[in-house]
Chain A
């Protein structure tokens, strides 16, 4: 039985694990794995750029205050190889975001893990060899 498990593990790794998700910087130096954030907002700007693409999102709290959040995505090369285009998310669209907040105080910056678009597309947003899986 143990050998069967070992074979399964080897096969699973062999067909899937290729280290594409290389981040430009250490996740842990910039973002806090314990500060998980989820919010919904309206895209105000898309920066299709390196070393990271960025999406800016206006989020309105219960009191009506609007804060512009800066979402860090992966490098363009990784996003494009994974199916993104620069129009996958557009200004004016309402998106749901999951990610990790920056270590700094009130930086309003998120290492985005998943971006959910209004039409139901779920976009993987970023990589990082030392980022926790979600």
Chain B
């Protein structure tokens, strides 16, 4: 790079900018906006998401419909959630627990759920079940992957049960704060890995998700996780989902069909996915 003159550098940068703009336009001109020619399927090349105003339902609430891409952590909750390495305030036992984790024990590679806030790594769709004049009574999140499943979210004013049945997705209630959907969830089963690094979620976890459709094509997702058995204090991660192409739909993804994970790596598939709890005598949140 040092040998390149200033003008040559400038020409290169301008060429890169033009190429970046032109590539999707050229692709659209061929009637195929997604396929890069040199290796079929190498990259899904998409036009920028639409930026018009967020749509609304007949009752005036924001329409969260559409197929969304992204918006959650996959490998690293801190890096992908807008935090720096070490920002998540783990209790000492969690640090020791994560240092000893076997990546092959990750539930999702064995076709078990990814949980909150990780599930949005795969395409997903929000379904609002309307009640005339009253907004949605329930919402459902349909998830293509991680795993091919759903979440149900109650919006009829009910509270959490006193003793919710422990589950992967927990018990979710929701309400609107202005144009932001707020989902409050408790009742987790203590088995979720919040990313591939294995940040745990104990049965005492409580999550608050805030969904704001800032425009037609972008959904901001802010998640606060409060888990007194695992973290010193609540922490917040932020993601953004992007509206998929209008012609895209959820596709079937039955992970259990032909899951051969572990064979190439030379290890056995585990059958026990323990509930994660602080060990006896572990230092707890002050």
13 interchain pairs, CB-CB under 8 A: A4-B14, A16-B24, A18-B44, A19-B70, A20-B44, A25-B106, A25-B261, A31-B265, A47-B258, A50-B252, A51-B111, A82-B44, A124-B42
What number of A residues sit within 8 Å (CB to CB) of B?
A: 55
Q: Given A29-B103, A29-B265, A50–B255 Cβ distance below 8 Å?
A: yes
Chain A residues lying within 8 Å of B89, measured Cβ to Cβ, are none
- The complex places the Cα of A37 from the Cα of B173 at a distance, in Å, of 50
- The complex places the Cα of A10 from the Cα of B49 at a distance, in Å, of 15
Q: Does B275 contact A (CB under 8 A)?
A: no
- The complex places the Cα of A129 from the Cα of B121 at a distance, in Å, of 11
Contact B242 A18 (CB under 8 A): yes
A to B contact number (C-beta, < 8 Å): 171
Contact B266 A8 (CB under 8 A): no
Contact with B along A41-57 (1 / 0, CB 8 A): 00000010111101000
Name the residue of chain A whose CB is nearest to the CB of B121: A22
Name the residue of chain A whose CB is nearest to the CB of B267: A104
Interface residues on B, range: 35 or more
- The complex places the Cα of A134 from the Cα of B257 at a distance, in Å, of 29
Contact A11 B21 (CB under 8 A): yes
- The complex places the Cα of A83 from the Cα of B10 at a distance, in Å, of 36
- The complex places the Cα of A61 from the Cα of B153 at a distance, in Å, of 57
Q: Does A1 contact B (CB under 8 A)?
A: yes
Contact B39 A77 (CB under 8 A): no
